[in-house]
Structure 1
């Protein structure tokens, strides 16, 4: 396992826009996210794609790849954080300078569509990457980043906590949608019902995963990690139960559920049940069949807030008997 150095105050963070042109679409929120990072003590370098838009994407495949490679080669930049996800980060996978990044590791973080970059980099280099907050949706929250989200970032990326430690369950969370360009109040938080043990048991393994929908764009390629014996985490957003059946069945027929040691499923932002006469849990069991592994659901990762930072590649313990996740290794070096 290859670890980047922990970020500290005064370090420079490169800001990338590998898919959706969120900095252009939501300029005020983007600027608020940059200001949040600066208040936390970081210096900022904006990527060249942050001011561009080509409809659904920020820039061409070449330009977006160059933006990331520029920061990979920039000795001043200690971390790289995405502005948001989108649909097309997988387009960049063949063009990144993995060899240089392996020799000069640094923090790479984002979520959602950035799953492709995080898993691709891990698969090609062994470098721990981070499924965590992005500039626009997370650091750019109104009026500021949620305190728990900031805390989870500092725990992992700045090594405020050293392993081993058990993750806490935030007391409240939100999936409320407000127009980012007109938002003038804080989102409404609701009581967290906690993490649910869907199938009891415990297992230890490397933590690997991300956005389920994004995985369909590069699964079974050279950029997808080996899942043998891992603790797999999955999350999704604004999908319906029919789409979930397709995506989960993709994992089934790919042999994923026969390989993994445990499964973590995150809260699904605005899930559409389609009035099906069965639950998503029933569907999961129907698809997985006889595979007997511990399963923990309703976990705070991904598209709901606050969300934990999940380091891809570290060893964790999933205890579905107790409903806990324990980080057994640090994901950054001092």
Structure 2
């Protein structure tokens, strides 16, 4: 297992746009995100696709892959962070220079569609990657990054908190959606109803996971990690009950629930239950059936804010009986 070094003030962060052209579509928010990173002590190198737009994507498949490789080859770059997600990061998986990244590990971070890159890199190199904030939605929040989001980021990649430690349940959270180009106020926060035990139990394993919808684009390939014994986490955004039944059943028929040691389910941003006479949590239990694994739901990871940073590949303990998640090792080297 490989780990990158912890980030420190003065380090250079490379910015990639592997799918949606958010820097072009949301220029002010993008610039605010870069400024936030600079305030946190980092230098910035913008990737070659940050000013490109081709309808739904920033640039061609090869150009987006080359953007990543250019930053991988740059030994001054200590971290690579995505501007946002999208739908097509899986297109880049065959073209990344995994061998060079193994020889020169860096922090690689993003969420949502960037799941494809994070899991692909982990599968091919064994390098810990980081399911965490992206430039436009997270660092670029108005009027500034949420304090807890900043804290969770620095706890993990700047090593301000050392393992072992249990993750806190944030007191407040939000899924409010405002127009990024006309936003004039901060998002309204709601009281956090807490994490929900769906099935009691205690398990320890490697933390692996990401955005459920994205996984359908590369599951079963050489770029998808082995899940045997893992603490598997999934989250999603703006889906409905029918789509969730399909996606969760994909995991079921692929044998995932028979392999993993435990399951963490993130808060689902803007979920549509389609008027179903059952809840999403009830659907999860219906699909999983009698498989006896601990399951903790409604966890603050993914598209809602603030969200914890999950280092993919570290050993964690999931105690669904107590409703706790403990990181047993750091995601970076000191």
Secondary structure at the residue paired with 2:50?
helix
CA–CA separation in structure 2 for the residues paired with 1:128 and 1:258? 24
* CA-based RMSD: 0.4
Three-state SS of the structure 1 residue aligned to 2:298 is strand
| TM-score of the superposed pair, with normalisation by structure 1 | 1.00
Distance 1:322 1:155 in 2: 23
Matches within 5 A, 1:272-311: 272-311=272-311
Aligned residue in 2 for 1:217: 217
Deviation at 1:44, TM superposition (A): 0.2
For 2:271, the equivalent position in structure 1 comes to: 271
Alignment partner of 2:49: what SS? helix
Alignment match, 1:19 = 19
Aligned to 1:45: 45
Cα distance in 2 between the residues matched to 1:83 and 1:273: 30
Cα distance in 2 for residues equivalent to 1:176 and 1:38 = 26
Which position in structure 2 is the counterpart of 1:152?
152
What are the residue-to-residue correspondences of 1:165-176 with 2, within 5 Å? 165-176=165-176
Show CA shifts across 1:178-224 (max 9, x none).
00000000000000011011111110000000000000000000000
State the partner residue of 1:261: 261
Unaligned runs of 5+ in 2: none
Q: Counterpart of 2:197 in 1: which secondary structure?
A: strand
CA displacement at 1:278 relative to structure 2: 1.2
Q: Deviations over 1:131-180 (max 9, x none)?
A: 00000000000000000000000000100011000000100000000000
- Residue 242 of structure 2 corresponds to 242
1:20-35 matches, cutoff 5 A: 20-35=20-35
Deviation of 1:277 after TM superposition, in Å, equals 1.2
Equivalent pairs counted in the alignment come to: 334
Hey, what's the Cα distance between the residues in 1 that align with 2:105 and 2:63? 22
Quote the residue 1:204 is aligned against: 204
The structural deviation recorded for 1:286 is 1.3
Which position in structure 1 is the counterpart of 2:58? Answer: 58
CA distance in 2, matches of 1:189, 1:169: 14
Question: What TM-score do you get using the length of structure 2 for normalisation?
Answer: 1.00
Match of 1:72, SS state, is helix
SS at match of 1:48: coil
Runs of 4+ in 1 over 4 A off after TM superposition: none
Q: CA deviation at 1:38?
A: 0.2
Q: Secondary structure at the match of 1:116?
A: helix
Q: What pairs with 1:102-141 in structure 2 (closer than 5 Å)?
A: 102-141=102-141
The alignment status of 1:184 with 2:172, answered yes or no, reads no
Per-residue CA deviation, residues 239-259 of structure 1 (Å, 9 max, x unaligned), is: 000000000000000000000
Moved more, 73-82 or 276-285: 276-285
SS in 2 for 1:23: helix
- Deviations along 1:258-298, one digit per CA (max 9) or x if unpaired, are 00000000000000000011111121111111101000000
Whole-angstrom distance in 1 between the partners of 2:279 and 2:80: 38
Gaps of 5+ in 1: none
C-alpha distance in structure 2 between counterparts of 1:281 and 1:143, whole Å: 34
